[in-house]
Homo-oligomer: A and B are copies of this chain.
Amino acid sequence: MGRARPWIEAFAPATVSNLGPGFDCLGLAVRTVGDTVRARVGEQPGVVLSAVEGDGGKLPREIDRNTASVAAAWLLERHAPGQGVELQLTKGLPLGSGLGSSGASACAAAVAVDAALALSLPEAVLVEAARHAEGVACGTPHPDNVAPCVVGGIVLIPALEPLRLISLPVPDDLWLALYTPGCSVATADARAVLPSRVSLPQTVTQAARLGLLVHALHEGDLALLGEAVADDIVEPARAGLIPGYLDAKTACLEAGALACSISGAGPTTFALTDDEGRARALMDILEETYTGAGVPGRGLVDRVGPGARVTSPPLH
């Protein structure tokens, strides 16, 4: 009786946000890992979240609390009122990891819903939907995960009202070693340790470093990029939440990493380098240090990649 309801599958990548001086305004998408959402036209108006897998049962299933369904509901309300959508979420990313896990679910849902309902919405709207979901999930609708997650590459967000997304050049030879130690950091906790006010000189340094970072990307100068990835405000406040972090950073820098810092709210730690082999060596160093600190986890060597996209066509 009913019309065919083909599934559309979308993938949204993990993201590394902050990148040193870019707290709450800069992030990048990686290539290989992320979350997947399948969406199809619903049998009735509104959002149905019919499956969540890969989260060990930890994520909320309620429509108004899961970031995938929250993003979908936001899109329906504004851009497809009266329509319905059914979602299935498969987590590829660990929760509370600093890899933009909650944002990736929201972005994958936004892209999948956009395609399933043939809305063809602009990227900025998909980012807004996912950002709204981030606000529900962690209390702060920060854009530095969801913007690169949707757009791909390295994205600067200079303004929120209206939302501005600036794609920055990506150096060809930029490699990342990523390691997620086996300890969870809730984004809310990682925000609670931040100073509410900072000194004017610290503000100057932060701004100047972000300027240097943007310059380094335009120049394709990775040594300069490494110099720019530094942060006297957020990283010192959060370092204590991650056992072994300061040792891991020291070891990476001694081994020649261009830079090493905390990805988003942590505990994922990233090191930058210009060579795949060196990235693997840095990942091994991170593995060794975090294992020594009693929080063994999971490592990854990756590059900057494209944004969230439909990965499988309609299945009739």
Contacts and interface: CB of A to CB of B under 8 A. Distances in A.
A111 interface: no
Contact of A207 (B194, B197, B206, B227): B206
Interface in A130-158: 156-158
Contact of A198 (B21, B200, B205): B200
Interface stretch (A6-14, A48-56, A116-124, A209-217): A209-217
In this complex, the member of A22, A197, A201, A215 whose beta carbon has the largest number of chain B beta carbons within 10 angstroms is A215
Contacts of A208: 22, 25-26, 156-159, 210
A291 interface: no
A44 interface: no
B156 A211 contact: yes
In this complex, the member of A196, A204, A212 whose beta carbon has the largest number of chain B beta carbons within 10 angstroms is A204
Given A199-B196, A208-B159, A210-B208, A215 B21 contact: no
A158 B206 CA distance: 9
A134 to B, nearest CB: 15
Nearest to A194: B200
Interface string A9-51: 0000000000001111110000000000000000000000000
A164 B156 CA distance: 23
Contacts of A209: 158, 207
Nearest to A156: B211
A311 interface: no
A105 B42 CA distance: 73
A246 interface: no
A166 interface: yes
Contacts of A25: 204-205, 207-208, 211
A177 interface: no
In this complex, the member of A159, A212, A218 whose beta carbon has the largest number of chain B beta carbons within 10 angstroms is A212
A205 B157 CA distance: 9
B203 A233 contact: yes
Contacts of A186: none
A112 interface: no
A264 to B, nearest CB: 14
15 contacts: A22-B207, A23-B203, A23-B207, A24-B204, A25-B205, A156-B208, A158-B208, A158-B212, A166-B212, A194-B200, A195-B200, A203-B233, A207-B207, A214-B214, A218-B218
Interface of A: 21-26, 156-159, 164, 166, 168, 194-215, 218, 227-228, 233
